[in-house]
């Protein structure tokens, strides 16, 4: 079967370096096709079948999928609905990955011939992306600078907050587990600790212990304490809040226990850590 090829010049606005649309069909698209630019799509309503690089996926509302240059793909609606589609140039993608730096392992997203990266957004997240997409329609067509800025902001947000989940999922193979870890990074859940972990996961404590041991080589309590210590260490360096307040904010209700765990991890007390934070060699030791 013939594969149709699209170039950036066929679809992408040269001023904004992107193209966006809210669509309910593929009547103007020839499949299978491929292109030299990036695109992502979010299914808001209905369901679709995606065949990409010989992998077949059935996708429903909340599915956010990244299509990369040279991915050969076909899409069709199984149940009527609509989706959000944003295409952007390889130049934009390269700049974005360079800006995020090596801490964002983009290479694992871009491996050729692999299934397309995707994440499942919950209803709130999906509505948020849809809302930001529709905000683009309020921008004057003549204000290309504002259009470009809003589009870039949206794409950066999507890569940082959503597609980054793909990295962890590839490590564990458990999408729900990686979503749980992301939820636990929220300050309110971190402060609540183990009850939040159980409430959000809807799993038994015994089952979570097995999963954490398998994928993180930690118990749930050890994982939570480590997150809390990271949280406290950053506040010690980047705020002037009292140590007791930081201890409580991080979810420790016992100051002596906090000091014990902190010293065990950083080999110094929280006060010593704060007093020496201006020294570059402290950070060199921590990052080794």
- Looking up residue 92, the CATH number of its domain turns out to be 2.60.120.280
Cis peptide leading into 32, omega within 30 of 0? yes
The 3 state secondary structure assigned to 207-266 is HHHHHHHHHCCCCHHHHHHHHHHHHHHHHHHHCCCCHHHHHHHCCCCCHHHHHHHHHHHH
Give the integer Cα–Cα distance in Å for 279 and 277. 5
Which of the listed residues 171, 192, 216 is the one where a domain comes to its end?
171
What is the CATH classification number for the domain harbouring 189? 1.10.10.60
Cβ atoms of 20 and 86 closer than 8 Å: yes
Which of the listed residues 171, 186, 219 is the one where a domain comes to its end?
171
Output the average pLDDT for the chain: 89
User: Among positive and negative, which fits the CA dihedral 125, 218, 222, 229?
Assistant: negative
If we measure between CA atoms, which residue out of 55, 40, 171, 33 comes closest to residue 115?
A: 55
User: What is the model's pLDDT at position 216?
Assistant: 85
| Domain identity same for 124 and 267 | no
User: What is the model's pLDDT at position 177?
Assistant: 84
Higher pLDDT, 270 or 28: 270
User: What is the model's pLDDT at position 226?
Assistant: 94
| Domain identity same for 164 and 225 | no
| Domain identity same for 216 and 123 | no
Weakest-pLDDT range from 56-65, 110-119, 227-236, 266-275: 110-119
Give the three-state DSSP class for 282. helix
| Domain identity same for 181 and 166 | no
If we measure between CA atoms, which residue out of 159, 167, 162 comes closest to residue 121?
A: 162
Q: What is the arithmetic mean of pLDDT over 206-216?
A: 90
| Domain identity same for 134 and 192 | no
Q: Is the pTM of this model over 0.75?
A: no
| Domain identity same for 68 and 161 | yes
Q: Quick check: 281 pLDDT over 70?
A: no
Which residues contact residue 199 at a Cβ distance below 8 angstroms, ignoring those fewer than 6 apart?
none
Give the integer Cα–Cα distance in Å for 213 and 206. 11
| Domain identity same for 17 and 156 | yes
Domain coverage including residue 119: 4-171
CA distance readout (Å), 130 to 141, 179, 261, 268: 20, 20, 43, 47
User: What is the model's pLDDT at position 170?
Assistant: 46
In DSSP terms, 118 is beta-bridged to: 65
The 3 state secondary structure assigned to 130-161 is HHHHHHHHHCCCCCHHHHHHHHHHHHHHHHHH
Residue 97 belongs to what H/E stretch?
helix 90-100
What's the N-to-C CA distance of the chain in angstroms? 53
Q: What is the arithmetic mean of pLDDT over 21-50?
A: 94
Q: Quick check: 16 pLDDT over 90?
A: no
74 pLDDT band (50/70/90 cuts)? very high
Which of the listed residues 131, 148, 171 is the one where a domain comes to its end?
171
If we measure between CA atoms, which residue out of 12, 63, 15, 17 comes closest to residue 35?
A: 12
| Domain identity same for 167 and 178 | no
Q: Quick check: 94 pLDDT over 80?
A: yes
User: What is the model's pLDDT at position 127?
Assistant: 92
Concatenating the DSSP letter of every residue in 15-68 gives TTTEEEEEES--TT--SSEEESSEEEEEEEEEEEEEEETTEEEEE-TTEEEEE-
User: What is the model's pLDDT at position 37?
Assistant: 95
| Domain identity same for 9 and 128 | yes
User: What is the model's pLDDT at position 108?
Assistant: 79
User: What is the model's pLDDT at position 122?
Assistant: 83
pLDDT in tens, 150-175: 999 999 999 988 888 776 544 444 66
The whole-angstrom distance between residue 61's C-alpha and the CA centroid of its chain comes to 18
Q: What is the arithmetic mean of pLDDT over 53-73?
A: 94
| Domain identity same for 187 and 132 | no
Q: What is the arithmetic mean of pLDDT over 134-141?
A: 87
The whole-angstrom distance between residue 120's C-alpha and the CA centroid of its chain comes to 11
Count of the separate structural domains present in the chain: 2
User: What is the model's pLDDT at position 197?
Assistant: 94
The whole-angstrom distance between residue 261's C-alpha and the CA centroid of its chain comes to 30
| Domain identity same for 154 and 70 | yes
| Domain identity same for 184 and 107 | no
């Amino acid at each position: 079967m013939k594969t149709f090829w699209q170039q950036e010049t066929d679809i992408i606005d040269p001023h904004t370096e992107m193209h966006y649309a809210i669509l309910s069909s593929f009547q103007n698209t020839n499949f299978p096709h491929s292109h030299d630019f990036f695109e992502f799509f979010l299914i808001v309503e209905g369901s679709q079948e995606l065949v990409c690089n010989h992998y077949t996926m059935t996708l429903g509302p909340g599915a956010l999928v990244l299509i990369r240059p040279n991915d050969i793909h076909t899409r069709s609606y199984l149940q009527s609905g609509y989706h959000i589609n944003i295409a952007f140039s390889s130049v934009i993608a390269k700049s974005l990955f360079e800006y995020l730096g090596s801490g964002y392992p983009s290479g694992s997203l871009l491996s050729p011939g692999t299934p397309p990266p995707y994440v499942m957004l919950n209803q709130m997240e999906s509505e948020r992306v849809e809302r930001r997409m529709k905000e683009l329609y309020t921008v004057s067509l003549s204000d290309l600078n504002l259009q470009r800025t809003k589009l870039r902001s949206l794409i950066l947000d999507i890569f940082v907050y959503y597609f980054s989940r793909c990295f962890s999922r590839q490590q564990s193979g458990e999408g729900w587990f990686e979503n749980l870890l992301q939820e636990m990074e929220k300050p309110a859940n971190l402060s609540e600790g183990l009850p939040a972990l159980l409430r959000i996961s809807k799993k038994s404590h015994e089952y979570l212990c097995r999963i954490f041991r398998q994928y993180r080589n930690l118990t749930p309590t050890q994982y939570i304490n480590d997150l809390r210590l990271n949280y406290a260490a950053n506040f010690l360096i980047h705020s002037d809040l009292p140590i007791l307040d930081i201890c409580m904010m991080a979810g420790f209700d016992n100051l002596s226990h906090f000091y014990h765990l902190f010293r065990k991890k950083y080999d110094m007390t929280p006060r010593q850590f704060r007093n020496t934070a201006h020294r570059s060699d402290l950070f060199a030791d921590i990052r080794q």
